[in-house]
Amino acid sequence: MTRTPPALHGPEFEADPHPAYRWLRDHAPVHRIDLPGGAWAWLVTRYDDARSVLADPNMLKDPGRANATWYRAGLGLPFDHRPSLVRSMVNVDAPDHSRLRKVTSGAFTPRRVRSLRESAERITGELLDALTKEEAPDLVRDLAYPLPIAIICDILGVPEEDRAEFHRQAAVIDSSSPDEYEAIGAATDWFDAYLDGLVAARLREPSDDLLGDLVEAHRSGELSRHEVTSTAFLLLVAGHETTVALIGNMLLLLLRDPEEMARLRADHELVGPAIEESLRLESPLQNATWRFPGEPTTVGGVRLEAGEPVLVSLLAAGRDPRRYEDPDVFDPRRGASHLSFGHGAHFCVGAQLARVEARVAVTAVLERLPGLRLAVDEDELRWWPSMIMHGLFALPVAFDRDNS
Ligand code: HEM
């Protein structure tokens, strides 16, 4: 076994990041990694360390607490330039954090999630009607990608006539490609103006959706207007690609394991546990969002100074053999918990919704696409080249058309 740390970028890592994370867990569980722009960060890869960093109130989320190297490298959000899109719960600490989070949780009451499930079933049905007519169907492009964005539009109450443009602009932001900086900047401008207009409309006419709740909280002085638009933008950024990756990764695990797929087809109750196992094994987010120690601290025996950037690898923690027996095996019956929705104060607000969407999508695929199989060799599949996301660009499939 080599003592040289593996690369955490490039085609080999993107195709299969797990060997690199295995090496780090074994040899450098709290490891200093270089980042673009001369910055660096601590990467935490063991489950126990990951869980304690996520739960630690000394690990602050406010980018204003970061050291100068990180800030200068431009890795943070443009707080100063775009307060209308970044003043959200994921970038703040107590007490602002609980204030912002409380208002948003209204979107995920059992009544709202029930109605979102009905929307998810209807949209999935329509998407699969179209997919079954495609000559070269792709489960990411034709199902996993459009479903969550349609649900986010429902949550925010985006009017029908605006949805096509909303999807188009979101796709530009999702590309996250360094070659697309200008286009991403323009799409961000578009969201800035669009969300502001939506808020103005809700101020004139209240509505029974999350944006309506946020605007009411603004009216009563609980939220600033920037906090309203930033929260709406956060739901788009946090809830879209993550759910795309969950559905795609889960379907790939089933395509690799036809016996498991047959068991799920025969008993849809197994879909829920299989989704949890997929979250553990192929976490849609490689890393949690940035954290910065408020006071110097020690993690896994390594001293971290105040302001030093910390990344927690959810993908690595999910396969830590110190926590899971045979960690690389897909076994929905193990019933293991995981960190893929985070842990502690910033635990994912949309976890229940993401589970509902994945369950609806996967169950419908099992019901409607008999004989489902990959249409290409697995080594031709491409993954997002990203240190943040862990998801597929495309999942081309074939199925038995006579029975669909
Ligand atoms: C499979 C899909 C999803 C995954 C894997 C996921 C994962 C996560 C993780 C790991 C965090 C914690 C980040 C940290 O502590 O650094 C988080 C936070 C968050 N997620 Fe999700 N998420 C998913 C879907 C969603 C959806 C559908 C929504 C809403 C529409 C959503 C909204 C949020 C929000 C608002 C936060 C910030 C919570 C806070 O800072 O208190 N997520 N998510």
Decide: 242 in ligand 1 pocket, CB within 6 A. Answer: yes
Ligand 1 centroid – CA 228 distance (Å): 17
Ligand 1 centroid – CA 258 distance (Å): 30
CA distance 342 to 350: 11
CB 375 within 8 A of CB 398: yes
- Of ligand 1's listed atoms, the one at least distance from the Cα of 285 is 5
Decide: 246 in ligand 1 pocket, CB within 6 A. Answer: yes
Q: Whose CA is nearest to atom 43 of ligand 1?
A: 348
Tell me if residue 313 falls in helix, strand or coil: strand
Ligand 1 centroid – CA 285 distance (Å): 9
- Report which DSSP code applies to 233: H
Decide: 349 in ligand 1 pocket, CB within 6 A. Answer: yes
Q: Show the beta-strand stretches assigned E in 213-353.
A: 292-293, 297-299, 302-304, 310-312
Decide: 237 in ligand 1 pocket, CB within 6 A. Answer: no
Cα–Cα distance list, 124 to 97, 244, 328, 341 (Å): 34, 13, 30, 23
Tell me if residue 330 falls in helix, strand or coil: coil
CB 284 within 8 A of CB 389: yes
Tell me if residue 220 falls in helix, strand or coil: coil
Decide: 278 in ligand 1 pocket, CB within 6 A. Answer: no
pLDDT at 321: 98
Give the helix/strand (H/E) hosting 1.
none
Ligand 1 centroid – CA 220 distance (Å): 27
Q: Whose CA is nearest to atom 25 of ligand 1?
A: 239
Ligand 1 centroid – CA 101 distance (Å): 12
- Ranges of residues in the chain with a pLDDT under 50 are 79
Tell which one of 231, 234, 341 to mutate to probe ligand 1, the residue whose CB is within 8 A of the most ligand atoms.
341
CA distance 243 to 356: 10
Decide: 238 in ligand 1 pocket, CB within 6 A. Answer: yes
pLDDT at 268: 97
pLDDT at 72: 80
Q: What does the pLDDT look like over 120-133, one tens digit per residue?
A: 999 999 999 999 99
Q: Whose CA is nearest to atom 3 of ligand 1?
A: 242
Decide: 90 in ligand 1 pocket, CB within 6 A. Answer: yes
What is the residue extent of each domain of the chain? Answer: 11-403
Amino acid at 271: V
**Residue recorded with tokens 């307060």:** 83
Q: What does the pLDDT look like over 208-264, one tens digit per residue?
A: 888 999 999 999 999 999 999 999 999 998 999 999 999 999 999 999 999 999 999
pLDDT at 70: 87
Ligand 1 centroid – CA 204 distance (Å): 30
Decide: 353 in ligand 1 pocket, CB within 6 A. Answer: yes
Decide: 290 in ligand 1 pocket, CB within 6 A. Answer: no
pLDDT at 178: 63
Decide: 342 in ligand 1 pocket, CB within 6 A. Answer: yes
Strand pairing partners for 398? 373
- Of ligand 1's listed atoms, the one at least distance from the Cα of 97 is 41
Decide: 229 in ligand 1 pocket, CB within 6 A. Answer: no
pLDDT at 345: 97
pLDDT at 296: 98
Superfamily of segment(s) 11-403: Cytochrome P450 (1.10.630.10)
Tell which one of 92, 242, 355 to mutate to probe ligand 1, the residue whose CB is within 8 A of the most ligand atoms.
242
CB 235 within 8 A of CB 210: yes
Amino acid at 99: R
- Of ligand 1's listed atoms, the one at least distance from the Cα of 358 is 1
CA distance 87 to 62: 10
CA distance 352 to 210: 16
CA angle 122-124-125, nearest 5°? 65
